[in-house]
Amino acid sequence: MKSSIIDAAGKFVVALMQEKLSPEHYYHNITHTREVVEYAMEIGRGEQLTPVEQEIVCLAAWFHDVGYTVKYIGHEEESQIIAEQFLKAHAYPEEKIHIVKNCIISTKYLHRSDNILESILIDADRLPMGKSNFKEKGELLRKEWEIFLNKVHTNEEWAQAQVVYLQETEFNTRYAFQHYQKTKDENLKYFKELVIHLEHRSNQIAANSKRYFRYLLNQFLSAAGYLMLGLFIGISLSLTVWGSASFVWGISIISGLLIGLSLRIGDKWFDRYIIRKFSFPVALVIGTLMLILLFKASQYAGMILYDLMVKEMSFSDIAKSQIFHSIISLHGVLILLWSAFLISLILNTIKLTSRIIGPGMMKSYLLGKYHKPIEEERIFMFIDINSSTSMAEKMGIEKYHNMLNRFFFDIGSPISRSMGEIYQYVGDEVVITWKMKDGLENANCIRCYYRILKQLDKLKPEYISLFGFMPEFKVGMHAGKVITGEVGRTKTEIVFHGDVINTTERILNQCINLGKQILISENLIRRIALLPNVHAEYVTTRLFKGKENEVSLYTLIKK
Protein backbone atom coordinates (compact mmCIF):
# COMPACT_ATOMS: atom_id res chain seq x y z
CA MET A 1 0.00 0.00 0.00
CA LYS A 2 1.11 3.55 -0.71
CA SER A 3 1.12 6.03 2.17
CA SER A 4 3.32 9.05 2.70
CA ILE A 5 3.31 8.61 6.49
CA ILE A 6 4.37 4.96 6.19
CA ASP A 7 7.18 5.89 3.75
CA ALA A 8 8.35 8.64 6.07
CA ALA A 9 8.19 6.33 9.09
CA GLY A 10 10.22 3.67 7.26
CA LYS A 11 12.95 6.11 6.26
CA PHE A 12 13.06 7.55 9.78
CA VAL A 13 13.34 4.16 11.51
CA VAL A 14 15.98 2.84 9.09
CA ALA A 15 18.10 5.99 9.51
CA LEU A 16 17.77 5.90 13.30
CA MET A 17 18.70 2.22 13.52
CA GLN A 18 21.66 2.67 11.17
CA GLU A 19 22.93 5.51 13.36
CA LYS A 20 22.26 4.24 16.89
CA LEU A 21 21.63 0.49 16.82
CA SER A 22 24.58 -1.69 17.85
CA PRO A 23 25.84 -4.12 15.17
CA GLU A 24 25.61 -6.78 17.86
CA HIS A 25 21.83 -6.77 17.51
CA TYR A 26 21.98 -9.89 15.36
CA TYR A 27 18.24 -10.52 15.49
CA HIS A 28 16.44 -7.31 16.46
CA ASN A 29 17.78 -5.15 13.63
CA ILE A 30 16.69 -3.47 10.42
CA THR A 31 16.26 -6.79 8.62
CA HIS A 32 13.88 -8.08 11.27
CA THR A 33 11.92 -4.79 11.29
CA ARG A 34 11.45 -4.87 7.51
CA GLU A 35 10.32 -8.50 7.69
CA VAL A 36 7.75 -7.68 10.38
CA VAL A 37 6.39 -4.86 8.20
CA GLU A 38 6.04 -7.27 5.25
CA TYR A 39 4.42 -9.93 7.44
CA ALA A 40 2.00 -7.36 8.93
CA MET A 41 0.92 -6.29 5.44
CA GLU A 42 0.52 -9.93 4.36
CA ILE A 43 -1.58 -10.90 7.38
CA GLY A 44 -3.54 -7.63 7.16
CA ARG A 45 -4.53 -8.41 3.59
CA GLY A 46 -5.47 -11.94 4.64
CA GLU A 47 -7.63 -10.56 7.45
CA GLN A 48 -9.15 -7.98 5.03
CA LEU A 49 -8.21 -4.86 6.95
CA THR A 50 -9.37 -1.49 5.73
CA PRO A 51 -6.68 0.88 4.36
CA VAL A 52 -6.78 2.90 7.57
CA GLU A 53 -6.33 -0.19 9.72
CA GLN A 54 -3.53 -1.43 7.48
CA GLU A 55 -1.77 1.90 7.82
CA ILE A 56 -1.93 1.76 11.62
CA VAL A 57 -0.55 -1.80 11.71
CA CYS A 58 2.31 -0.92 9.33
CA LEU A 59 3.28 2.12 11.40
CA ALA A 60 3.29 -0.01 14.56
CA ALA A 61 5.41 -2.61 12.73
CA TRP A 62 8.00 0.00 11.73
CA PHE A 63 8.30 1.37 15.26
CA HIS A 64 7.82 -1.79 17.35
CA ASP A 65 11.57 -2.44 17.85
CA VAL A 66 13.05 1.04 17.38
CA GLY A 67 13.35 1.32 21.17
CA TYR A 68 16.35 -1.03 21.00
CA THR A 69 18.34 2.04 20.01
CA VAL A 70 17.80 3.28 23.60
CA LYS A 71 17.69 0.17 25.81
CA TYR A 72 17.26 -3.60 25.59
CA ILE A 73 14.95 -4.36 28.52
CA GLY A 74 11.91 -2.09 28.25
CA HIS A 75 12.46 -1.28 24.58
CA GLU A 76 8.70 -1.48 23.90
CA GLU A 77 8.03 1.57 26.08
CA GLU A 78 10.89 3.44 24.38
CA SER A 79 9.44 2.46 21.01
CA GLN A 80 6.10 3.97 22.04
CA ILE A 81 7.80 7.25 22.98
CA ILE A 82 9.75 7.48 19.70
CA ALA A 83 6.66 6.59 17.65
CA GLU A 84 4.53 9.16 19.47
CA GLN A 85 7.11 11.93 18.96
CA PHE A 86 7.47 11.12 15.25
CA LEU A 87 3.72 10.85 14.57
CA LYS A 88 2.90 14.04 16.45
CA ALA A 89 5.58 15.85 14.48
CA HIS A 90 3.75 14.69 11.33
CA ALA A 91 0.35 15.78 12.67
CA TYR A 92 -0.94 12.25 12.84
CA PRO A 93 -4.35 12.00 14.57
CA GLU A 94 -4.17 11.54 18.33
CA GLU A 95 -6.64 8.67 18.43
CA LYS A 96 -4.61 6.74 15.82
CA ILE A 97 -1.37 7.39 17.72
CA HIS A 98 -2.99 5.80 20.75
CA ILE A 99 -3.85 2.66 18.72
CA VAL A 100 -0.31 2.49 17.28
CA LYS A 101 1.14 2.64 20.79
CA ASN A 102 -1.18 -0.13 22.01
CA CYS A 103 -0.11 -2.30 19.08
CA ILE A 104 3.58 -1.71 19.91
CA ILE A 105 3.19 -2.64 23.60
CA SER A 106 1.24 -5.77 22.61
CA THR A 107 4.46 -7.29 21.23
CA LYS A 108 5.69 -7.94 24.78
CA TYR A 109 6.26 -11.64 25.37
CA LEU A 110 3.04 -13.60 26.01
CA HIS A 111 0.93 -10.41 25.84
CA ARG A 112 -2.71 -11.05 24.96
CA SER A 113 -4.18 -8.93 22.22
CA ASP A 114 -7.32 -6.87 22.69
CA ASN A 115 -8.24 -6.47 19.03
CA ILE A 116 -7.46 -7.66 15.51
CA LEU A 117 -4.80 -4.98 14.90
CA GLU A 118 -2.78 -6.07 17.93
CA SER A 119 -3.24 -9.73 16.94
CA ILE A 120 -1.87 -9.03 13.47
CA LEU A 121 1.24 -7.25 14.77
CA ILE A 122 1.86 -9.98 17.37
CA ASP A 123 1.65 -12.67 14.69
CA ALA A 124 3.84 -10.64 12.33
CA ASP A 125 6.49 -10.31 15.05
CA ARG A 126 6.39 -14.03 15.83
CA LEU A 127 5.84 -15.35 12.32
CA PRO A 128 9.40 -16.82 12.14
CA MET A 129 8.17 -19.69 14.34
CA GLY A 130 6.09 -20.75 11.35
CA LYS A 131 8.96 -20.39 8.88
CA SER A 132 11.44 -23.02 7.73
CA ASN A 133 14.37 -20.82 8.80
CA PHE A 134 13.19 -20.68 12.44
CA LYS A 135 16.26 -22.55 13.64
CA GLU A 136 18.67 -20.11 11.98
CA LYS A 137 16.75 -17.09 13.27
CA GLY A 138 16.79 -18.60 16.74
CA GLU A 139 20.58 -18.92 16.67
CA LEU A 140 20.81 -15.17 15.92
CA LEU A 141 18.61 -14.42 18.92
CA ARG A 142 20.64 -16.80 21.09
CA LYS A 143 23.84 -14.99 20.14
CA GLU A 144 22.22 -11.60 20.85
CA TRP A 145 20.98 -12.69 24.28
CA GLU A 146 24.47 -13.81 25.25
CA ILE A 147 25.72 -10.26 24.64
CA PHE A 148 22.90 -8.10 25.99
CA LEU A 149 21.30 -10.33 28.63
CA ASN A 150 24.27 -12.51 29.57
CA LYS A 151 22.09 -15.54 28.92
CA VAL A 152 24.35 -18.40 27.88
CA HIS A 153 22.57 -21.59 26.84
CA THR A 154 24.00 -25.01 26.15
CA ASN A 155 22.66 -26.69 23.02
CA GLU A 156 20.38 -28.83 25.15
CA GLU A 157 19.09 -25.82 27.13
CA TRP A 158 18.46 -23.82 23.96
CA ALA A 159 16.59 -26.66 22.28
CA GLN A 160 14.43 -27.06 25.40
CA ALA A 161 13.79 -23.29 25.47
CA GLN A 162 12.64 -23.43 21.86
CA VAL A 163 10.27 -26.28 22.68
CA VAL A 164 8.78 -24.26 25.55
CA TYR A 165 8.45 -21.17 23.35
CA LEU A 166 6.72 -23.04 20.52
CA GLN A 167 4.39 -24.86 22.93
CA GLU A 168 3.19 -21.80 24.83
CA THR A 169 3.06 -19.37 21.91
CA GLU A 170 0.08 -19.53 19.55
CA PHE A 171 -0.96 -17.61 16.46
CA ASN A 172 -3.70 -15.07 17.12
CA THR A 173 -5.10 -14.65 13.62
CA ARG A 174 -6.95 -17.08 11.41
CA TYR A 175 -4.70 -16.28 8.45
CA ALA A 176 -1.42 -16.99 10.28
CA PHE A 177 -2.81 -20.23 11.72
CA GLN A 178 -4.01 -21.49 8.33
CA HIS A 179 -0.78 -20.64 6.49
CA TYR A 180 1.97 -21.12 9.08
CA GLN A 181 0.74 -23.53 11.78
CA LYS A 182 1.90 -26.61 9.86
CA THR A 183 5.51 -25.37 9.66
CA LYS A 184 5.33 -24.29 13.31
CA ASP A 185 4.33 -27.85 14.25
CA GLU A 186 7.22 -29.20 12.20
CA ASN A 187 9.59 -26.85 14.02
CA LEU A 188 8.22 -28.03 17.36
CA LYS A 189 8.67 -31.67 16.34
CA TYR A 190 12.26 -30.96 15.24
CA PHE A 191 13.23 -29.36 18.55
CA LYS A 192 11.50 -32.06 20.61
CA GLU A 193 13.51 -34.71 18.76
CA LEU A 194 16.63 -32.59 19.16
CA VAL A 195 16.08 -32.39 22.93
CA ILE A 196 15.79 -36.19 23.14
CA HIS A 197 18.90 -36.63 20.98
CA LEU A 198 20.93 -34.16 23.04
CA GLU A 199 19.75 -35.72 26.31
CA HIS A 200 20.85 -39.14 25.09
CA ARG A 201 24.14 -37.68 23.96
CA SER A 202 24.61 -35.90 27.28
CA ASN A 203 23.79 -39.08 29.19
CA GLN A 204 26.22 -41.01 27.03
CA ILE A 205 28.98 -38.46 27.62
CA ALA A 206 28.30 -38.58 31.35
CA ALA A 207 28.33 -42.38 31.29
CA ASN A 208 31.56 -42.40 29.27
CA SER A 209 33.11 -39.93 31.70
CA LYS A 210 32.05 -42.10 34.60
CA ARG A 211 33.46 -45.21 32.93
CA TYR A 212 36.70 -43.38 32.11
CA PHE A 213 37.01 -42.20 35.71
CA ARG A 214 36.36 -45.72 36.95
CA TYR A 215 38.92 -47.04 34.47
CA LEU A 216 41.54 -44.55 35.70
CA LEU A 217 40.68 -45.38 39.30
CA ASN A 218 41.04 -49.11 38.63
CA GLN A 219 44.34 -48.52 36.86
CA PHE A 220 45.56 -46.42 39.76
CA LEU A 221 44.49 -48.99 42.35
CA SER A 222 46.05 -51.77 40.29
CA ALA A 223 49.34 -49.87 39.96
CA ALA A 224 49.25 -48.99 43.65
CA GLY A 225 48.68 -52.65 44.52
CA TYR A 226 51.66 -53.77 42.44
CA LEU A 227 53.86 -51.07 43.95
CA MET A 228 52.83 -52.03 47.50
CA LEU A 229 53.58 -55.67 46.69
CA GLY A 230 56.92 -54.63 45.20
CA LEU A 231 57.80 -52.60 48.30
CA PHE A 232 56.90 -55.53 50.55
CA ILE A 233 59.11 -57.87 48.53
CA GLY A 234 61.96 -55.33 48.33
CA ILE A 235 61.92 -54.75 52.10
CA SER A 236 61.72 -58.50 52.83
CA LEU A 237 64.67 -59.32 50.58
CA SER A 238 66.80 -56.45 51.92
CA LEU A 239 66.16 -57.41 55.54
CA THR A 240 67.22 -61.03 54.87
CA VAL A 241 70.54 -59.88 53.35
CA TRP A 242 71.53 -56.84 55.44
CA GLY A 243 69.30 -56.99 58.48
CA SER A 244 68.09 -53.67 59.87
CA ALA A 245 71.06 -51.52 58.81
CA SER A 246 70.32 -47.85 58.21
CA PHE A 247 70.82 -48.05 54.45
CA VAL A 248 68.35 -50.94 54.07
CA TRP A 249 65.25 -48.77 53.79
CA GLY A 250 66.61 -46.66 50.96
CA ILE A 251 67.66 -49.70 48.95
CA SER A 252 64.35 -51.44 49.78
CA ILE A 253 62.26 -48.58 48.48
CA ILE A 254 64.19 -48.30 45.21
CA SER A 255 64.26 -52.05 44.55
CA GLY A 256 60.62 -52.39 45.64
CA LEU A 257 59.47 -49.75 43.16
CA LEU A 258 61.43 -51.49 40.40
CA ILE A 259 59.85 -54.84 41.31
CA GLY A 260 56.33 -53.38 41.45
CA LEU A 261 56.73 -51.62 38.11
CA SER A 262 58.13 -54.76 36.46
CA LEU A 263 55.30 -56.92 37.82
CA ARG A 264 52.72 -54.39 36.57
CA ILE A 265 54.19 -54.33 33.07
CA GLY A 266 54.98 -58.02 32.77
CA ASP A 267 51.78 -59.49 34.21
CA LYS A 268 49.78 -59.48 30.95
CA TRP A 269 52.80 -60.71 29.01
CA PHE A 270 53.16 -63.64 31.43
CA ASP A 271 49.46 -64.50 31.06
CA ARG A 272 49.60 -64.38 27.27
CA TYR A 273 52.86 -66.14 26.53
CA ILE A 274 53.54 -68.42 29.53
CA ILE A 275 50.29 -69.38 31.25
CA ARG A 276 48.40 -69.82 27.99
CA LYS A 277 51.08 -71.98 26.34
CA PHE A 278 52.42 -74.15 29.16
CA SER A 279 51.02 -76.55 31.74
CA PHE A 280 50.66 -75.64 35.39
CA PRO A 281 53.99 -77.14 36.64
CA VAL A 282 55.98 -75.80 33.67
CA ALA A 283 54.44 -72.34 34.03
CA LEU A 284 55.15 -72.47 37.77
CA VAL A 285 58.85 -73.28 37.18
CA ILE A 286 59.24 -70.63 34.49
CA GLY A 287 57.44 -68.00 36.54
CA THR A 288 59.47 -68.78 39.64
CA LEU A 289 62.80 -68.54 37.77
CA MET A 290 61.75 -65.28 36.14
CA LEU A 291 60.81 -63.75 39.49
CA ILE A 292 64.06 -64.90 41.11
CA LEU A 293 66.01 -63.13 38.35
CA LEU A 294 63.80 -60.05 38.72
CA PHE A 295 64.26 -59.92 42.49
CA LYS A 296 68.04 -60.36 42.31
CA ALA A 297 68.38 -57.77 39.55
CA SER A 298 66.20 -55.29 41.46
CA GLN A 299 68.35 -55.69 44.60
CA TYR A 300 71.55 -55.02 42.67
CA ALA A 301 69.94 -52.08 40.83
CA GLY A 302 68.50 -50.71 44.09
CA MET A 303 71.87 -50.86 45.79
CA ILE A 304 73.67 -49.13 42.90
CA LEU A 305 71.03 -46.41 42.48
CA TYR A 306 71.01 -45.79 46.24
CA ASP A 307 74.78 -45.32 46.33
CA LEU A 308 74.73 -43.11 43.21
CA MET A 309 71.81 -40.88 44.16
CA VAL A 310 71.81 -40.81 47.97
CA LYS A 311 75.46 -41.34 48.89
CA GLU A 312 76.72 -39.73 45.65
CA MET A 313 79.38 -42.40 45.21
CA SER A 314 81.19 -43.22 41.96
CA PHE A 315 81.02 -46.67 40.37
CA SER A 316 84.55 -47.45 41.50
CA ASP A 317 83.69 -46.53 45.08
CA ILE A 318 80.54 -48.65 44.92
CA ALA A 319 82.60 -51.70 43.87
CA LYS A 320 84.77 -51.25 46.96
CA SER A 321 81.90 -50.66 49.42
CA GLN A 322 80.90 -53.08 52.15
CA ILE A 323 77.30 -53.16 50.88
CA PHE A 324 78.40 -54.38 47.47
CA HIS A 325 80.65 -57.09 48.88
CA SER A 326 77.95 -58.31 51.23
CA ILE A 327 75.46 -58.78 48.39
CA ILE A 328 77.91 -60.58 46.08
CA SER A 329 79.33 -62.80 48.80
CA LEU A 330 78.36 -66.48 48.76
CA HIS A 331 76.35 -66.06 51.93
CA GLY A 332 74.50 -63.01 50.56
CA VAL A 333 73.79 -64.69 47.22
CA LEU A 334 72.44 -67.87 48.86
CA ILE A 335 70.20 -65.97 51.26
CA LEU A 336 68.87 -63.77 48.48
CA LEU A 337 68.28 -66.78 46.22
CA TRP A 338 66.44 -68.72 48.92
CA SER A 339 64.25 -65.76 49.91
CA ALA A 340 63.52 -64.93 46.28
CA PHE A 341 62.67 -68.57 45.59
CA LEU A 342 60.17 -68.78 48.43
CA ILE A 343 58.46 -65.48 47.56
CA SER A 344 58.39 -66.37 43.84
CA LEU A 345 56.94 -69.81 44.52
CA ILE A 346 54.19 -68.38 46.72
CA LEU A 347 53.26 -65.61 44.26
CA ASN A 348 53.14 -67.91 41.24
CA THR A 349 51.20 -70.57 43.11
CA ILE A 350 48.57 -68.01 44.11
CA LYS A 351 48.45 -66.56 40.59
CA LEU A 352 48.11 -69.92 38.83
CA THR A 353 45.60 -71.24 41.37
CA SER A 354 43.57 -68.05 40.98
CA ARG A 355 43.51 -68.65 37.24
CA ILE A 356 42.09 -72.14 37.77
CA ILE A 357 39.27 -71.21 40.15
CA GLY A 358 38.81 -67.58 39.08
CA PRO A 359 40.10 -64.41 40.78
CA GLY A 360 36.68 -63.58 42.25
CA MET A 361 36.25 -67.06 43.72
CA MET A 362 39.86 -67.04 44.95
CA LYS A 363 39.22 -63.82 46.82
CA SER A 364 36.06 -65.28 48.34
CA TYR A 365 37.96 -68.39 49.47
CA LEU A 366 40.74 -66.37 51.07
CA LEU A 367 38.26 -64.12 52.89
CA GLY A 368 36.03 -67.04 53.87
CA LYS A 369 33.03 -65.12 52.56
CA TYR A 370 30.95 -68.18 51.66
CA HIS A 371 32.15 -70.59 54.35
CA LYS A 372 28.65 -70.21 55.68
CA PRO A 373 25.99 -70.06 52.94
CA ILE A 374 24.38 -66.68 52.30
CA GLU A 375 21.44 -65.50 50.19
CA GLU A 376 22.22 -62.94 47.51
CA GLU A 377 20.87 -61.61 44.24
CA ARG A 378 22.86 -62.46 41.13
CA ILE A 379 22.70 -62.17 37.36
CA PHE A 380 23.55 -65.22 35.27
CA MET A 381 24.56 -65.42 31.63
CA PHE A 382 24.75 -68.82 29.91
CA ILE A 383 26.72 -68.94 26.64
CA ASP A 384 26.43 -72.09 24.53
CA ILE A 385 28.13 -72.85 21.20
CA ASN A 386 25.66 -73.93 18.51
CA SER A 387 25.80 -77.35 16.82
CA SER A 388 28.67 -78.48 19.04
CA THR A 389 28.02 -82.22 18.58
CA SER A 390 28.15 -82.11 14.77
CA MET A 391 31.21 -79.85 14.89
CA ALA A 392 33.05 -82.27 17.18
CA GLU A 393 32.33 -85.13 14.78
CA LYS A 394 33.58 -83.22 11.75
CA MET A 395 36.64 -81.66 13.37
CA GLY A 396 37.80 -84.46 15.59
CA ILE A 397 38.01 -84.36 19.38
CA GLU A 398 41.44 -82.73 19.66
CA LYS A 399 40.79 -79.93 17.16
CA TYR A 400 37.36 -79.36 18.67
CA HIS A 401 38.93 -79.05 22.14
CA ASN A 402 41.45 -76.53 20.79
CA MET A 403 38.60 -74.51 19.30
CA LEU A 404 36.70 -74.54 22.61
CA ASN A 405 39.84 -73.57 24.52
CA ARG A 406 40.48 -70.68 22.13
CA PHE A 407 36.84 -69.53 22.31
CA PHE A 408 36.73 -69.56 26.11
CA PHE A 409 40.10 -67.80 26.31
CA ASP A 410 39.07 -65.04 23.89
CA ILE A 411 35.84 -64.19 25.70
CA GLY A 412 37.68 -63.94 29.03
CA SER A 413 38.83 -60.35 28.54
CA PRO A 414 35.36 -58.94 27.67
CA ILE A 415 33.93 -60.76 30.70
CA SER A 416 36.52 -59.39 33.14
CA ARG A 417 36.21 -55.88 31.65
CA SER A 418 32.48 -56.07 32.36
CA MET A 419 33.08 -57.12 36.00
CA GLY A 420 31.74 -60.62 35.33
CA GLU A 421 32.99 -63.84 36.94
CA ILE A 422 33.25 -67.15 35.09
CA TYR A 423 31.45 -69.59 37.36
CA GLN A 424 32.07 -72.81 35.43
CA TYR A 425 32.51 -74.48 32.07
CA VAL A 426 30.08 -77.28 31.25
CA GLY A 427 31.10 -78.96 28.00
CA ASP A 428 30.65 -76.33 25.31
CA GLU A 429 28.83 -73.99 27.69
CA VAL A 430 30.19 -71.26 29.96
CA VAL A 431 28.31 -69.80 32.91
CA ILE A 432 29.02 -66.16 33.82
CA THR A 433 27.69 -64.42 36.91
CA TRP A 434 27.56 -60.96 38.46
CA LYS A 435 26.56 -59.69 41.82
CA MET A 436 23.36 -57.79 41.09
CA LYS A 437 24.89 -54.37 41.76
CA ASP A 438 27.92 -55.02 39.55
CA GLY A 439 25.86 -56.41 36.67
CA LEU A 440 23.31 -53.59 36.66
CA GLU A 441 25.89 -50.83 37.07
CA ASN A 442 26.56 -49.26 33.69
CA ALA A 443 24.57 -52.17 32.16
CA ASN A 444 27.71 -54.31 32.57
CA CYS A 445 25.91 -57.58 31.83
CA ILE A 446 24.63 -56.16 28.53
CA ARG A 447 27.99 -54.58 27.68
CA CYS A 448 29.58 -57.98 28.25
CA TYR A 449 27.45 -59.51 25.48
CA TYR A 450 28.31 -56.79 22.97
CA ARG A 451 32.00 -56.81 23.94
CA ILE A 452 32.12 -60.56 23.29
CA LEU A 453 30.51 -60.00 19.86
CA LYS A 454 33.04 -57.28 19.06
CA GLN A 455 36.00 -59.35 20.25
CA LEU A 456 34.99 -62.42 18.24
CA ASP A 457 34.22 -60.37 15.14
CA LYS A 458 37.74 -58.94 15.31
CA LEU A 459 39.19 -62.46 15.60
CA LYS A 460 37.00 -63.99 12.88
CA PRO A 461 39.82 -64.25 10.27
CA GLU A 462 41.99 -66.15 12.78
CA TYR A 463 39.20 -68.63 13.58
CA ILE A 464 38.53 -69.27 9.91
CA SER A 465 42.24 -69.76 9.28
CA LEU A 466 42.71 -72.15 12.22
CA PHE A 467 39.40 -74.03 12.29
CA GLY A 468 37.75 -73.31 8.93
CA PHE A 469 34.74 -71.52 10.42
CA MET A 470 33.60 -68.98 13.02
CA PRO A 471 31.66 -70.63 15.87
CA GLU A 472 28.20 -69.23 16.54
CA PHE A 473 26.65 -69.14 19.97
CA LYS A 474 23.46 -68.38 21.86
CA VAL A 475 22.94 -66.55 25.13
CA GLY A 476 20.37 -66.80 27.93
CA MET A 477 20.19 -64.29 30.81
CA HIS A 478 18.17 -64.21 34.00
CA ALA A 479 18.50 -62.84 37.53
CA GLY A 480 17.22 -63.63 40.97
CA LYS A 481 18.03 -64.86 44.46
CA VAL A 482 20.43 -67.75 45.03
CA ILE A 483 22.09 -69.43 48.00
CA THR A 484 25.87 -69.16 47.66
CA GLY A 485 28.20 -71.31 49.73
CA GLU A 486 31.11 -73.74 49.85
CA VAL A 487 30.45 -77.46 49.29
CA GLY A 488 32.66 -80.56 49.37
CA ARG A 489 35.53 -81.78 51.49
CA THR A 490 38.27 -83.34 49.36
CA LYS A 491 37.36 -80.88 46.61
CA THR A 492 35.81 -77.67 47.88
CA GLU A 493 33.86 -75.45 45.50
CA ILE A 494 31.73 -72.33 45.79
CA VAL A 495 28.35 -73.08 44.21
CA PHE A 496 25.02 -71.34 43.60
CA HIS A 497 21.73 -73.02 44.36
CA GLY A 498 18.36 -71.69 43.32
CA ASP A 499 15.61 -71.75 40.74
CA VAL A 500 17.30 -68.92 38.81
CA ILE A 501 19.99 -71.35 37.53
CA ASN A 502 17.46 -73.79 36.03
CA THR A 503 15.39 -70.96 34.56
CA THR A 504 18.43 -69.42 32.87
CA GLU A 505 19.25 -72.79 31.28
CA ARG A 506 15.70 -73.11 29.96
CA ILE A 507 15.79 -69.55 28.59
CA LEU A 508 19.01 -70.46 26.77
CA ASN A 509 17.36 -73.52 25.22
CA GLN A 510 14.59 -71.33 23.74
CA CYS A 511 17.06 -69.38 21.55
CA ILE A 512 17.12 -71.88 18.68
CA ASN A 513 13.33 -72.47 18.75
CA LEU A 514 12.66 -68.73 18.61
CA GLY A 515 15.50 -67.90 16.19
CA LYS A 516 17.24 -65.46 18.56
CA GLN A 517 20.90 -65.24 19.54
CA ILE A 518 20.10 -63.76 22.94
CA LEU A 519 17.06 -64.03 25.21
CA ILE A 520 16.65 -62.20 28.50
CA SER A 521 13.95 -62.57 31.13
CA GLU A 522 11.58 -59.69 31.80
CA ASN A 523 12.66 -59.80 35.44
CA LEU A 524 16.17 -58.74 34.40
CA ILE A 525 15.21 -56.41 31.53
CA ARG A 526 13.05 -54.26 33.83
CA ARG A 527 15.99 -53.71 36.18
CA ILE A 528 18.60 -52.70 33.59
CA ALA A 529 19.09 -49.17 32.25
CA LEU A 530 19.83 -50.24 28.69
CA LEU A 531 22.52 -48.63 26.56
CA PRO A 532 21.41 -45.58 24.49
CA ASN A 533 21.73 -47.46 21.18
CA VAL A 534 20.12 -50.69 22.40
CA HIS A 535 16.48 -51.48 23.07
CA ALA A 536 14.67 -54.59 24.26
CA GLU A 537 12.10 -56.24 21.97
CA TYR A 538 9.43 -58.53 23.38
CA VAL A 539 9.58 -62.05 21.91
CA THR A 540 7.19 -64.35 23.76
CA THR A 541 5.98 -65.62 27.12
CA ARG A 542 6.66 -69.18 28.21
CA LEU A 543 5.51 -71.38 31.07
CA PHE A 544 8.42 -73.71 31.72
CA LYS A 545 7.81 -77.23 32.94
CA GLY A 546 7.54 -77.45 36.71
CA LYS A 547 7.17 -73.65 37.09
CA GLU A 548 4.15 -71.85 38.49
CA ASN A 549 4.78 -68.46 36.88
CA GLU A 550 5.24 -67.62 33.21
CA VAL A 551 8.46 -65.97 32.05
CA SER A 552 8.34 -63.22 29.41
CA LEU A 553 11.36 -63.21 27.11
CA TYR A 554 13.02 -60.31 25.34
CA THR A 555 15.82 -59.99 22.83
CA LEU A 556 18.19 -57.08 22.22
CA ILE A 557 18.12 -54.89 19.12
CA LYS A 558 20.99 -52.53 18.38
CA LYS A 559 19.96 -49.34 16.56
Question: What is residue 543's predicted lDDT score, i.e. its pLDDT?
Answer: 85
Tens digits of residue pLDDT in 307-349: 787 777 777 777 767 666 666 667 667 776 777 777 777 777 7
Which helix (H) or strand (E) segment holds residue 272: the answer is none
3-state secondary structure of 268: helix
What is the spatial distance between Cα 76 and Cα 203, in angstroms, rounded to a whole number?
A: 41
Question: What is residue 367's predicted lDDT score, i.e. its pLDDT?
Answer: 65
Question: What is residue 474's predicted lDDT score, i.e. its pLDDT?
Answer: 95
Question: What is residue 442's predicted lDDT score, i.e. its pLDDT?
Answer: 85
Question: What is residue 200's predicted lDDT score, i.e. its pLDDT?
Answer: 76
pLDDT at 152 over 80: yes
Question: What is residue 21's predicted lDDT score, i.e. its pLDDT?
Answer: 94
Question: What is residue 71's predicted lDDT score, i.e. its pLDDT?
Answer: 93
199 pLDDT tier (thresholds 50, 70, 90): confident
Question: What is residue 2's predicted lDDT score, i.e. its pLDDT?
Answer: 59
pTM: 0.51
Class assignment of domain 359-558? alpha beta
Question: What is residue 222's predicted lDDT score, i.e. its pLDDT?
Answer: 80
What single-letter DSSP state applies at residue 549? S
Residues of the chain with CATH 3.30.70.1230: 359-558
Question: What is residue 379's predicted lDDT score, i.e. its pLDDT?
Answer: 95
pLDDT at 369 over 80: no
Contact 323, 248 (CB under 8 A): no
pLDDT at 204 over 80: no
Top-confidence residue, 553 or 340: 553
Which alpha helices (H) appear in 271-358, and where do they start and end? 280-309, 315-320, 322-328, 330-357
Query: What kind of architecture, by CATH, is found in domain 4-149?
Result: Orthogonal Bundle (1.10)
Question: What is residue 370's predicted lDDT score, i.e. its pLDDT?
Answer: 67
Please list, in sequence order, all residues whose beta carbon lies within 8 angstroms of the beta carbon of residue 496, skipping any fewer than 6 positions away. 378, 380, 423, 433, 482, 483, 484
Residues of the chain with CATH 1.10.3210.10: 4-149
Tens digits of residue pLDDT in 430-488: 999 999 999 998 889 999 999 999 999 999 999 999 988 899 999 999 999 999 888 87
Average pLDDT over the chain reads: 86
Question: What is residue 256's predicted lDDT score, i.e. its pLDDT?
Answer: 86
pLDDT at 179 over 70: yes
Contact 365, 356 (CB under 8 A): no
Percent of the chain residues topping a pLDDT of 70? 90
515 pLDDT tier (thresholds 50, 70, 90): very high
3-state secondary structure of 496: strand
Tens digits of residue pLDDT in 95-121: 999 999 999 999 987 677 889 999 999
Range scoring the smallest mean pLDDT among 75-79, 213-217, 356-360, 412-416:
356-360
358 pLDDT tier (thresholds 50, 70, 90): low
Pairing of β 534-542 and β 473-487:
unpaired
171 pLDDT tier (thresholds 50, 70, 90): very high
User: Burial, 534: exposed, middle or buried (Cβ in 10 Å; 0-12, 13-18, 19+)?
Assistant: middle
What single-letter DSSP state applies at residue 68? G
Percent of the chain residues topping a pLDDT of 90? 47
Tens digits of residue pLDDT in 19-68: 999 999 999 999 999 999 999 999 999 999 999 999 999 999 999 999 99
3-state secondary structure of 84: helix
Tens digits of residue pLDDT in 263-290: 888 877 877 777 667 777 787 788 778 8
